[in-house]
Each structure stands twice: as C-alpha cells, then as structure tokens.
Structure 1
Amino acid sequence: MEHGIEIQTKRFNLLSSEIDAAYHEAALKLGLSDSAMLILYTICSRDGECLLSDIMQMSGASKQTINSALRKLEAEDIVYLEAFSGKKKKVYLTDKGNQVVKNTVLRLMKIENDIYTSWTKEEWETYVELTQRYLNMFKDRMKDL
C-alpha cells in the first residue's frame, strides 16, 4: 500500500510531465522545435542577446542539441553568434529573429504572465519559494547517486 507522500510524489511528477507536454504542444503550435523554443526563450528573457553558456545552463538540454538547433536558427537568419570574451560566444537575435520572437516566444510569455498575475502575491511567492527549495534539495541529494 502506498503512503500519502508516495501518492503526492506521483501526482507531482505527473503534473511536471504534463507541464512539459503543454510547453511541447505550445512550441509545435508556434512552429518551433522544443530546442529552438528553449534558445529563443532564453535569448528573449535576456533582451535579445546572451552568452551561449547561459543557453546551455538555463535550457537543461545537451550541448549537442543546443548546437544543432543554433545552427538551424542561424541558417534561417534568426540568430547569429559572435565572439565575446576569450572562447566565449554571444548569441543575438537578427531582425528576422526579433519578428519570430514577437510571433512566438512573446506570445507564450504573455500567457505565462497572465496566469501568474492572476495569483496573489503570496501564492506567487509560495510557489517560487517551494519550487526553488525542491530544486536545491533535489540537486543536493543527487550528489549521493
């Protein structure tokens, strides 16, 4: 027989998977791959430019996945890369990329913002605090794997 916490863990994991699936569906509806959406979302959240290493870190996707998606976005004239400092590179949106972001990522961000602004300040702070605490504890416990 399952204990209450095991049932709640399964519920949480299912919700997390359903949220991931909803974002996947949103990317498809907006004509983007998941990896392109991750890249453009990250760049957009950084005002149209960011370090390549930030995309790698924030997306959680593999280096190969991000590099393949970046090459495709470059070929489509949506982003371009420039040397920044030493071996670091920065990724920028092109004019076309800004239009793509306007028609995709910014629409998704508006939906997110509409949802979050419908919550009370206390609900938002609790959600963020608990999510951050869960992530920190999970990362700490992963060291023991």
Structure 2
Amino acid sequence: MTGSRPRIKSEDMLFRKQHAAVPPRAERPRQAHVWTSVHQLLWIETLLKLTAGAALVLAPLTAIKVLGLPPSANAFWPRLLGGVLIGLAAATFLEGATERGRGLGMAGLILINTAGGTVLAFSAAFGGSAPTRRGRLAQWSIVVLLFVLSLFEIAYL
C-alpha cells in the first residue's frame, strides 16, 4: 500500500462501468414481440377504422344511406372523414406493429396528415372540390400545407 491510495467507492463503480463488457447493439438478443390484449385492441381498432374509412372514401353517399346517417348534399365531408379515418387506421397500425409502444407520435401524425391531404387532393382534382374559386384555393392551400407539414415531420423522425 505504499505509494498508492485506497480506492474510493465511486471511483471503483466508475471503473466497473467503463470496463464492463457490454455487447454492441447488433449482438444483443432481441426480445420476442409480446402479443398482449392491448395489441389485440389496436388491431381491432385498425380494422374498424380502415373499413369505415374505405367505405366513406369509395362510396360516401351509399355508406351514409346503408348506415342510416343523416343525408349529405354532396360527398365532400364524408370523403374527408374517410380519409382521416384511414390515416388514423394507419397510425394505429404503426403503433401496434412497433415494439416500443409510446403512442402515435410523429410517425402517426405523418400518416394522418398524408392520408387527409391525399383525400383532399383527389377530391379537388376529380370534381369534388368547393364550388367557388375561393373554396378551391382554400382546399388546395390546405393540401399543400398538410404535405409540407408532413415533410417537416419526416425530417424530424
């Protein structure tokens, strides 16, 4: 012990942390994806939202009549709702498919904005847009803003 000082407990712990044999991330064993009741609920929710959204996008007025919902003068609002439901279904699918399970987060927002913007764009491009020039301008502005917002969100993923 001559010439050396005794190790302090915190130094000993620091030494152990620095020299611990931790395998690289690629070599660590992966945990199996656990199928829980939460995952089952997410899959059921995904299927319900996707089915309802597809019906409202593909045949909005027929879907309204079949479901007994209040009639709509045109197909714009039901189609828009269908697009949002498809976006929510995609985000819910992503949540159930990942192992982390921290909520919809940025990736879910990207899917929702992209689906809503796509339905609005198709509606505007194929005759379901607003009847006035101001309405068409507003609709296309929202489409552009949703896609630009999605690009910014992709940059921060």
Normalised by the length of structure 2, the TM-score is: 0.25
Q: Tell me which protein shows more strand as a share of its residues.
A: 1
Normalised by the length of structure 1, the TM-score is: 0.27
